Structure 1
Amino acid sequence: MKVAIVHDELVRRGGAEQVVLDMHKAYPEADIFTLCYNKDKTYEEFKKARIFTSWFQYLGKSEKLIKILYFPFAILAMRMFNLKGYDVVLISTTHCGKFVRVDKNASVITYCHTPFRLAWRPFSYAIVNSSNMIIRNIFLFASRVLRVFDSMAAKASDFYLTNSKEVKARIEDSYHPEQPVSIINPAAKLDNFYISNEVKDYHLVVSRLEDYKMVDLVVKAFNQTPEKKLVIVGTGSMEAELKALAGDNITFLKAQSAAQLAKLYANCKALIFPQHEDYGITPLEAAASGRPVIAFGKGGVTETMVPYNGDSARCTSVFFEEQTVESLSAAIEKAEMLQFSPGFIRNHANLFSASNFIAKLKTFVSRIYNLKTDTDFYMSLTEKVVYARKEVA
C-alpha cells in the first residue's frame, strides 16, 4: 500500500502540523506534499521526512504571504500536484490541501481540521463585523467565490476524518459528505511533559496572542487580583496591546524550548484556557503535566477534559460558563479551593497519546483500503466521488 500525505502548508508550529507528524509516524515511508515548507518555522521532525513543495515555495514561505496570495495562486499551485501511483492519499487540511489531483482509483481520506473559515464562516472574522459596508461586501463576495471552489474540491474525498464533534457537524453542514464523518482525536506530545512535586505560585496561559484567543480576558481578571501571578507564553498581533494592558503581576514570555515549556506546565497552579476552540492541544499538555485546566466550557474541551462535578480527585478541569471577568475569576477561586489528583489527570491525558491516534488511524485506513477486495461494495461507496473527481479535474 503506497501512501501519500498532503498538508496545506508547513510554515508554523500548530496542532494541525502535529497531526501530520503523527500521520507520518503511522506511515514513515509516505511522501509529504505541501504548498510550501519553512524548516525554521515548523517542527524540526519534518526534516526527517521526504517533502515535496509546490511552485508557491518560490513566492513565499510565511503565513502572511499565503493569506495574501491564496486566491488564486495557492489553489493553482496545489492543483499542479498530480499524485499518480498512490493507493491511499491522506489529506490534512483546512484550506488548500484538498485541491491536489489524485488517481481516480486512489482512496482519498481527508482529515479536515475545520472547513475553510474564510469561505464558510466569514462573520467569524473581526474585519467583516467592524468594517464599513463597502469593505464588508468585498470580503463577503470573495467568501462566496471561495466557497464555490472549496465545495467542488471537497467532493474529491472518499471519507472524512476530523478532531471533534463540533467540527464533524460543521463538515456535514458545509460539504454534505456521502459517508459518515469519523472522529479521531488528535494526540498531544505526552512524552514531553511530566508531573512535578513542586507547584509554584502562578497560573499559566500558552496561546497565540490573537483577538479570538481571549487572552485579554485573562489579563483583565488578573489585573483585579494583583496578588495572583500570571505567566503568558506566546506571541501574536495583540502582544503590544496586551502588555500595555497588563499589571506588574503578569509576565510575558516568547516561544520556549520544549524543556522550558514542560517546566512551566509542571510547576503552574493551573492552565487557563479562555477561548472557544474546535479542539485545543494545550489543555491536554497541561493534563499530561498533572495540572488542572480552568477552561471556557465550550468546544473541544468538553470532549477532552473531565469537568469538576463534586469530586476533585476525579476531574481534570473547572469550567466557566461565560467569557466574562466575573465568571473566569469565580472559576479561578473555585479551582484554588480544590485538591486535584495529578495522577488521575495524567492518566486521563494518556487516552490522547500519539500511539492511540496512530492505531486508530491505521485501523481506519486499512479498513478502507481492504474494501477494495470487495469491488462492488467499494464502488458503491466511491462511485460518486470518482465522478466528482472527473468534474473538477
Structure 2
Amino acid sequence: MAGVIVHEWLETHGGAEKVMEEIAKAFPDAPIHALWDDAPLRFEPHRVQETWLARTALRHRKDLALPLMPITWRNMGPAEADWILCSSHLFAHHARFSGGAREAPKLVYAYTPARYIWNPELDARGANPLVKAVSPIFRNLDRKRAAEAQSIAAISNFVRARIATSWHQDSRVIYPPVDVKLFADDSADGLTDAENEYLDKGVPKEFVLGASRFIPYKRLENVIDAGIALNQPVVIAGSGPQEQLLRRYALDQGGDVTFVIQPSLALLRELFRRALVFIFPPVEDFGIVPVEAMATGTPVIALDTGGAAETVLHGRTGALVNDFKNSSGVREAFLLSQDVQVADCKRRAFEFDTPVFTEALTNWVRDETGASSESQSARTTAAQSFAS
C-alpha cells in the first residue's frame, strides 16, 4: 500500500526534523510533502515536494505565513496514496489532497497542538498581533481538522492531555526516537587532544550539569541555583542568546559555574558521563536530553510535570521535584539520585531507543491502514545487556 508523509516544513536542525528522518526511513517509498524545504540535503533528490509558499519570502517569516498555511494544506493537489501520515506541530494535519488520496485515511503524529494558537503563554510567537487576531478563528478550524484523523498519536502523555483539551480527541502515545546507543556506548570517545586537556584542566572534577540552548524557557538559571543549594560546582553546556545574561546571573549569585560553549557531541557525552547529576528544569512536551543523560548512566533531576516526568523514574533513574526554587527539595532529590544505579539508567534509556519508536510507529500505521514498511522489530537485547 502506498502512503504519503506530510510535515510542516523541513529545517537543518530541530527535534521534529530528527523524528521526521526516522519516519521517512520507516516508509522509504512514501513521498514527503512540506510547505518548504530548507534542508535540501536531508532527503533524496525529488522526494520532498514543496508548496507554493516555498517560492515566496514568507518561507522565512513563519509568523506572516501562518494565516495562509491552513488554506495551503487544504489544497495540496493530486496524489495517489492509500494512507496519509501527518507529522504535525502546527497545521500539517489539515492536509487534504485531490485524486486517489482524497479519501485516504489520515494518521496524525502530533508533537503538540499548535502552541501559537492554543497555548500562547508557552510560545512567544503567539504574542504576534497577527497571530493573536486570527487565533480564535483558527482554534475552531484546528479542532475541526483534527477530527478528520482516523487516529492520532501523541509524543507523550503530557501532549495527549493537551490534545484532549484542545482538539477534544483521544490519542495513543508513541514516544519520539532517541539515539540511545550513541550515548550508551562506553567505548565511544572521539575527543580531541584539546578537549581532553580542557576536561582535565578546565572542568571541575565533580559537578552538576545543565545542557541546552541558552533561551528563556530552558530555565538554566535554575541549574545555577541548584548548584548553589547543593554546594556543588556547575557546568552549563550549550549556546544561545542568553549567554551573557546567564554569565551575569552566575556572577551575581556567587555560583561556581563553568560555561562550555557549543560542545562537540563527544565532549557533551563525556560531560554527561562525568556529571554527578544532570539537572533539567524546563517543562518540555517530551525532552530528549534527559534520556541521553540516562543513556550514559547519569541520573536526572527534573520537574514532576511535562515529558521528563514520564521518562525519569523517581528513585530509580533520578528524582522529580515540584519546584526548583525549593532548595530543600532539590537537596533531597540530589541525595536520592546518588543512590541510582548506572545499569538502571541505561536500561530505562533504551526504552526510548530509535528501534522502539520505529516498531511502534509501523505497527500503528499497519494496524490502522494495513500498510507495511521496511522497518525491523525493535530489539531489547542491547538494553538487557546493561542489566547484568
Tell me if both proteins adopt one fold, taking TM over 0.5 as the criterion: yes
TM-score by length of 1: 0.79
User: d(CA) in 2 for partners of 1:7 and 1:81?
Assistant: 13
Query: What residue in structure 2 maps to residue 36 of structure 1?
Result: 36
1:207 CA drift (Å): 1.7
User: Superposed, which structure 2 residues align to 1:255-274 within 5 Å?
Assistant: 255-274=262-281
Match for residue 55 of structure 1 among 52, 55, 61: 52
1:140 CA drift (Å): 4.3
Answer yes or no: is the 8 Å Cα contact 1:186–1:352 preserved in 2: yes
1:149 matched to 2:141? The reply is yes
Per-residue displacement from partner, 1:145-197 (whole Å, max 9, x unpaired)?
A: 331332233233221011112211211222223xx411111121112113559
Per-residue displacement from partner, 1:118-156 (whole Å, max 9, x unpaired)?
A: 21123334688xx9xxx98x7644321331332233233
Answer yes or no: is the 8 Å Cα contact 2:301–2:334 preserved in 1: no
Answer yes or no: is the 8 Å Cα contact 2:214–2:240 preserved in 1: yes
The DSSP-based 3-state class of the residue aligned with 1:111 is strand
User: d(CA) in 1 for partners of 2:45 and 2:264?
Assistant: 20
The DSSP-based 3-state class of the residue aligned with 1:298 is coil
Match for residue 308 of structure 2 among 275, 294, 301: 301
How many residue pairs align between the two structures? Answer: 350
TM-score by length of 2: 0.80
Q: Tell me whether 291-300 or 116-125 shows the greater mean CA deviation.
A: 116-125
Per-residue displacement from partner, 1:352-392 (whole Å, max 9, x unpaired)?
A: 11111111111111111139xxxxxxxxxxxxxxxxxxxxx
User: d(CA) in 1 for partners of 2:78 and 2:314?
Assistant: 45
Match for residue 206 of structure 1 among 203, 211, 228: 211
User: d(CA) in 1 for partners of 2:45 and 2:340?
Assistant: 40
Answer yes or no: is the 8 Å Cα contact 1:3–1:88 preserved in 2: yes
User: d(CA) in 1 for partners of 2:318 and 2:364?
Assistant: 31
After superposition, the Cα gap between the structure-2 partners of 1:194 and 1:275, relative to the gap in structure 1 and judged at 3 Å, is same
Amino acid at match of 2:365: V
The DSSP-based 3-state class of the residue aligned with 1:263 is helix
After superposition, the Cα gap between the structure-2 partners of 1:139 and 1:362, relative to the gap in structure 1 and judged at 3 Å, is closer
Answer yes or no: is the 8 Å Cα contact 2:10–2:17 preserved in 1: yes
The DSSP-based 3-state class of the residue aligned with 2:184 is coil
Answer yes or no: is the 8 Å Cα contact 1:39–1:47 preserved in 2: no
User: d(CA) in 2 for partners of 1:305 and 1:182?
Assistant: 20
User: d(CA) in 1 for partners of 2:152 and 2:125?
Assistant: 30
RMSD: 3.0
What's the % identity of the aligned pairs? 27
User: d(CA) in 2 for partners of 1:367 and 1:151?
Assistant: 24
Match for residue 81 of structure 2 among 76, 86, 101: 86
Amino acid at match of 2:162: R
Query: What residue in structure 2 maps to residue 190 of structure 1?
Result: 180
Answer yes or no: is the 8 Å Cα contact 1:321–1:327 preserved in 2: no
After superposition, the Cα gap between the structure-2 partners of 1:18 and 1:331, relative to the gap in structure 1 and judged at 3 Å, is farther
1:321 CA drift (Å): 1.6
Answer yes or no: is the 8 Å Cα contact 1:217–1:325 preserved in 2: no
Unaligned runs of 5+ in 1: 309-314, 372-393
1:231 CA drift (Å): 2.3
Match for residue 227 of structure 2 among 209, 222, 234: 222
Amino acid at match of 1:85: E
1:59 CA drift (Å): 3.6
After superposition, the Cα gap between the structure-2 partners of 1:195 and 1:84, relative to the gap in structure 1 and judged at 3 Å, is closer
User: d(CA) in 1 for partners of 2:238 and 2:34?
Assistant: 26
1:252 matched to 2:247? The reply is no
Unaligned runs of 5+ in 2: 188-198, 372-388
Query: What residue in structure 2 maps to residue 330 of structure 1?
Result: 331
1:70 CA drift (Å): 3.0
The DSSP-based 3-state class of the residue aligned with 1:82 is coil
Answer yes or no: is the 8 Å Cα contact 1:11–1:61 preserved in 2: no
User: d(CA) in 2 for partners of 1:236 and 1:249?
Assistant: 20
The DSSP-based 3-state class of the residue aligned with 1:9 is coil
User: d(CA) in 2 for partners of 1:218 and 1:232?
Assistant: 8
User: Superposed, which structure 2 residues align to 1:153-192 within 5 Å?
Assistant: 153-177=145-169, 180-192=170-182
1:321 matched to 2:322? The reply is yes
User: d(CA) in 2 for partners of 1:98 and 1:151?
Assistant: 10
1:234 matched to 2:225? The reply is no
